Amino acid sequence: MKKSLQSFFDYLKFEKRYSSHTLTAYRSDLEGFMDFVQREFGEVQLSEISHSIVRTWLAVLRDEGLDTKSIRRKLSSLKSFFKHMLRMGVLETSPMAQVITPKAGKKLPVFMKEEDTAQVSETLTSSSDDWKSLNMQMLINIFYATGMRLSELVNLKEKQIDFSRGHIRVLGKGNKERIIPVSQDVLQQIRRYKDLKRKEFGSGSCEYFLVTEKGRKLYPKYAYLLVKKALSEVTTLEKKSPHVLRHTFATHILNNGANLNAVKELLGHSSLAATQVYTHNTIEKLKDVHKKAHPRS
């Protein structure tokens, strides 16, 4: 088996021209597997390695606490090796044909801490009153207050904002309409922006709520860049996008006691499964509270 492994490593190095870092990863994965086979099953020929041996190895990796991402990488290395052995005529069948690769776990939503959200809002409030800064303020405040998607906010029309009832009618995916309640504080900010818009561009200005400094509808790319710039204040954030504010909205209201079904409706999710991803962050907060508060934790 050593000759077969070396043949594969030479192929990766000289034909595929993989980097030394990648080669080291392949070597670690494959030699680790071969060591396991020899330790558990003795001297086994390459052709005698079956899918059941590979599955046993997988079970051991899981028992050792290896994460799904690392297991997927090791399986990928193994598949590449056996595929090369088939191509070289060393094997007639691959044991990997009956091995199912575990699905990659979904990445948890990136969100801001409450104190970071307050800091960004405070910084924007104290910024200048040029149109770019005003748009930045409105984007951050409305995204965080409503959990809207980028497409929903840039397409929001003035007539969808109901000041008397204190809510916004949002047209979401599949033209599904939903109602999002808005605080008086945010409504005041919206009213101020609307008044400045009338003063700047006249009473017959654009029907869309958010506009550029030329009075035209705010386009998605520009809105995205404004949000990204505003969130650059938070150096700990992995991502800086409008969707981070949507995730932040959902996480914060759940952490403060909101019902999961209510959050589903506010976000415009078609199923509860899409909303449940936010509960992980809530559970982590509960664990943290328990650890700090419980005398035996």
Just list the catalytic residues.
149, 173, 243, 246, 269, 278
Residue pair 189/141 in contact by the 8 Å Cβ criterion: yes
**Distance from C-alpha of 27 to C-alpha of 204, rounded to nearest angstrom:** 68
Segment (H or E) for 171: strand 167-171
**Distance from C-alpha of 149 to C-alpha of 171, rounded to nearest angstrom:** 10
CA 176 to chain centre: 24
Name, in order, each residue with C-beta under 8 angstroms of 179's C-beta and a sequence gap of 6 or more. 167, 168, 169, 170
The structure tokens listed for 107 are 């990445």
Q: What would the DSSP string read from start to end of 6-57?
A: HHHHHIIIIIS---HHHHHHHHHHHHHHHHHHHHHH-S--GGG--HHHHHHH
Strand partners, 171: 177
Buried b (16+ CB within 10 A) or exposed e, 131-162: beebbbbbbbbbbbbbbbbbebbbbbeeebbe
Name, in order, each residue with C-beta under 8 angstroms of 33's C-beta and a sequence gap of 6 or more. 57, 74, 78
Rg (CA), the chain: 27
CA 254 to chain centre: 18
Q: How many Cα atoms sit within 13 Å of 121 on the Cβ side?
A: 17
**Cα-Cα-Cα-Cα dihedral sign, residues 251, 114, 146, 183:** positive
